[in-house]
Amino acid sequence: MALNLIRKLTLSSFLIFAAATVSAQTFVFTAIPDEDETKLVERFRGVADYLSEQLNVDVRYIPVKSYAAAISAFRNNQVQLAWFGGLSGVQARRLVPGSEAVAQGVEDEAFQTYFIANTNTGIEPAEELADLKDQLQGKTFTFGSKGSTSGRLMPEFYVRDTFDSKPEDFFSRVGFSGNHTRTLRLVEAGTYDIGALNFQVWEKELADGNVDTDAVQVIWKTPTYPDYQWTIRGDVDERFGEGFKQRVTEALLNLDNPELLESFPRSGFIPASNDDYEPIRKTAEEIGILD
């Protein structure tokens, strides 16, 4: 009986050791929760399978509940790669010296935010935000997540810059929906008069027939700016072997599965660098989001 117990303990110890070994060799990534979780899980599980095949290592995607959680997971080395927005990427790289932006979507080089409005407001679309001042002032307005580039940082910058006023002073009520899909639904339902929305989410939902165009419309489009990117920790070569970062970069740049790309939605990925996001850093500092 004692011998059997020793055998069981030995086997148990071995299994724990083996699990720890597998875990140590698992390449883990996450993404900011900018859309409904169901969509994100479906998208990034496909990416995990693709990367695992290309890199010949176990790759796992873990969802997070907030932008801050994505940054924390990256900082604490719980994930080694992340699909960040412009602002969250800047924040994460500041916290993890040596980390790099390595790839961005073709569309992320010149990203936009759409201001959308419930049609019952009677707001008419305009080319210049300044031309909408009288129609927008005193209305209710929702951003997306507080840490979103397209859903908060850039739209807040343009409101402040154009109207020389903080959003909470210009609008009668300001909220944060949490993600772009939710922003669209809140404005569509009339819960808020106006919202700031990632243009890719609008275009995708519109193409899929998920927008009631009798209830909501685009009223203004921001100038372009750099946004989403893949950011990787600088110490991955030490953990996964020399040249691993380059292999990950090449795998992302070579991703050409139409179904996977459509789920982002992006037409492909192109090289990116930390310097590409200097405009985002400067804007965040200017309006007090980044210390």
pLDDT of residue 39: 81
Q: What is the mean pLDDT of residues 95-105?
A: 97
The token pair at 287 is 């309006």
Mean pLDDT of the chain: 90
Q: What is the mean pLDDT of residues 228-251?
A: 97
Which one has a higher pLDDT value, 157 or 13?
157
pLDDT for 137-148, tens place per residue? 999 999 999 889
The neighbour count for residue 144, using CB atoms within 10 Å, is 30
* Geometric angle at alpha carbon 36, from 32 and 37, rounded to 5°: 70
The token pair at 198 is 């990632």
pLDDT of residue 242: 96
Q: Quick check: helix, strand or coil at residue 170?
A: helix
Above 80 in pLDDT, residue 7? Answer: no
Which residues fall within 8 angstroms of residue 4, CB to CB, at 6 or more apart?
none
pLDDT of residue 12: 42
pLDDT for 177-205, tens place per residue? 999 999 999 999 999 999 999 999 999 99
pLDDT of residue 19: 40
Above 80 in pLDDT, residue 261? Answer: yes
- CA-to-CA distance for 249 and 226, rounded, in angstroms? 19
Percent of the chain residues past pLDDT 90, beyond the cut:
81
pLDDT of residue 142: 98
pLDDT for 145-173, tens place per residue? 988 999 999 999 999 999 999 999 999 99
Where residue 34 falls among pLDDT bands split at 50, 70, 90?
Answer: confident
pLDDT for 38-79, tens place per residue? 888 888 999 999 999 999 999 999 999 999 999 999 999 999
CA atoms lying within 13 Å on the CB side of residue 240:
26
- List the domains of the chain with CATH numbers: 2-109+226-286 (3.40.190.10), 112-221 (3.40.190.10)
pLDDT of residue 15: 37
- CA-to-CA distance for 275 and 76, rounded, in angstroms? 24
The neighbour count for residue 49, using CB atoms within 10 Å, is 14
User: Considering only CA atoms, which of 285, 286, 281 is closest in space to residue 87?
Assistant: 281
pLDDT of residue 4: 46
pLDDT of residue 24: 59
Above 50 in pLDDT, residue 259? Answer: yes
Cα distance between the two ends of the chain: 64
Cβ atoms of 108 and 229 within 8 Å: the answer is: yes
Tell me, what DSSP letter sits at residue 243? T
